[in-house]
Amino acid sequence: MNPINFDQVNQIMGPPEGMTEEECMNLPVAHAQTEGQEVFISCWEMSEEELQLLIKTRKIWVWQFGDHVQPISISANYPFEEAPRVKESTYTPRDYYDPRPIEFGPGE
């Protein structure tokens, strides 16, 4: 799986200290606030081979690196209020940074 760009991206998470971009790629995220919690949302796309394996096994394995586990949520549901727009992006990770958090609607 690879992280992909999406319309709400407003921050790029770089590799942690001590790692290079070759070891840990940049991660485009929507830095948001929901129900009083700060969240970072990323979107990942599967290759055709990964999709077929997911259909066959119905499993996703999550690796978290570091000395403790952060709370995590994994979902196939679109997390934003408006419908997604399909478009080809010319975005590159170094192009854009907006520190303003995204606000979710009620019940999000």
- Of the ranges 35-39, 63-67, 88-92, which one carries the lowest mean pLDDT score? 88-92
Beta strands in 1-108 (DSSP E): 2-4, 11-13, 27-34, 37-41, 43-45, 102-103
Q: What is the model's pTM?
A: 0.69
At residue 36, the pLDDT reads 85
Average pLDDT over residues 32-36: 85
d(CA 107, CA 96): 29
Number of domains making up the chain: 1
Question: What integer is the mean pLDDT of 20-48?
Answer: 91
| Residues forming beta bridges with residue 45, ordered by sequence position | 2
- Which two structure tokens, joined as six digits, stand for 72? 């995590």
Which residues are registered as beta bridge partners of 7?
none
Domain of residue 53, residue span: 1-108
pLDDT, residue 83, reads 53
